[in-house]
Amino acid sequence: MHILTLAIKSMLNRKFTIALTIFSIALSIMLLLGVERLRNDARESFANTISGTDLIVGARSGPVQLLLYSVFRIGNPTNNISWKSYEEIKDQRLVAWTVPLSLGDSHHGFRVLGTNLDYFRHYHYGGGLALEFAKGAPFADVYDAVIGADVAKELNYNLGQEVVLAHGTGEVSFVRHDDKPFRIVGILSKTGTPVDRTVHVSLEGIEAIHTGWENGAPRPGAHIDAEQARQINLQPKTITAALVGLKSRLAAFRVQRFINEYPKEPLLAALPGVALQELWDTMAIAQQVLLAISVLVVLVGISGMMTAMLTSLNERRREMAVLRSVGARPWHIFILFVGEAGAVMSIASAVGVAALYVTQLIARPIIQTQLGLFLPIHSPSTHEFMLIAAAVGAGLLVGLIPAYRAYRYSLSDGMTIRL
């Protein structure tokens, strides 16, 4: 204990150099843990976004692209699917329920989703949790809207307020549906999924705001106000995608084959679990590269600590000689250096973990805004503790090198004045 106390006092005597060493190692450990946490939490967040849905149906593209734009609101569809095709799929004997999805509009950067009441009955997340209302109820009128928890919080919305939708999915839009405002009738409870950042309206509402439009723009002189739109047949002609639940999961491949070989238009039916696995397989190389870079950064930080200790070793030879002269044995000197390396690594690890939580608090709302991913803040996992222990262990091993060099210095060598 006396040797360790002496090591800490020696570190305080060189506090500027030690502080820089701790700072560099703490940043590397923060990066290592951050990459690992982002990888695991992002995968868990993606997996918890949708549950209980057997198939996702959309225009023919790729399973990952279909999953991203229909469930995670990332990207845009290549095409729509016709309402007649959707109804034919819905009427299949093995299909238990369907949920139509219509995308393409936004509100202050939040995606607008057109759907029907089946969405609130059949959409599940997090292993089977159903959507719940914090306030209000589902939409009942053409111009009713149900908003997610994050939309209500960030825009300070409440029941009864009017919202105006905009054409397109960008944060800034020059084409707004000002003549057909929607009234907020429901606010959903927090789910930690893209639902929180979505404005939900009826399919009829989507059709109403686009009456008098052609090729994504209003026709000149064809203005139809909100009340006139109510009198028009608002049944949609196309939708973006559909969620499908089956009476038996054993029929998934049979229904998938029927949709993929549908003769009237090119469609794609994707299994959510398979699409998620394909997404992570696509990202596997990037994840491994990031993890390897993080490990190398930690090793560079530890090497910097060893360099600093070796550099200061020549300056501390007289200090070592004084310790030897008052009774310190060579193994005391050895423990002094190893203890110093252990103290630096332990402090750096604690600082790195604290910096990780601060960074996560700052970055979490940004990631949720841009990607719709909810990254929970939790205590370090067993795997993260193992990574920290491995980093500290590597630091102790590297600390053996300057410790061994100091061990070999003799009393006469330290007391000799070199000219």
**Burial grade of 377 (CB within 10 A; 0-12, 13-18, 19 or more):** exposed
More confident residue, 23 or 404: 23
Domain ranges of the chain: 2-46+284-415, 55-270
pLDDT digits (tens, 9 = 90+) for 89-126: 999 999 999 999 999 889 988 999 999 999 999 999 88
Residue 4: the pLDDT is: 65
CB atoms within 10 A of CB 86: 21
pLDDT digits (tens, 9 = 90+) for 124-158: 988 788 999 999 999 999 999 999 999 999 999 99
Residue 81: the pLDDT is: 94
- Nearest residue to 210 (alpha-carbon basis) of 240, 236, 183: 236
pLDDT digits (tens, 9 = 90+) for 49-66: 888 899 999 999 899 999
Q: How far apart are CA 312 and CA 34, in angstroms?
A: 32
CB atoms within 10 A of CB 331: 11
CB within 8 Å of 390: residues ≥ 6 apart: none
Report in angstroms the alpha-carbon separations of 41 from 34, 36, 64, 281: 10, 9, 19, 16
Residue 266: the pLDDT is: 93
3-state secondary structure of 330: helix
**Average pLDDT rounded to a whole number, residues 207-224:** 70
Residue 412: the pLDDT is: 47
For tokens 């409440």, name the residue.
158
Q: How far apart are CA 344 and CA 347, in angstroms?
A: 5
Region of poorest pLDDT, from 298-307, 318-327, 404-413: 404-413
Q: How far apart are CA 269 and CA 51, in angstroms?
A: 16
CB atoms within 10 A of CB 326: 6
Strand partners, 95: 246
**Burial grade of 352 (CB within 10 A; 0-12, 13-18, 19 or more):** buried
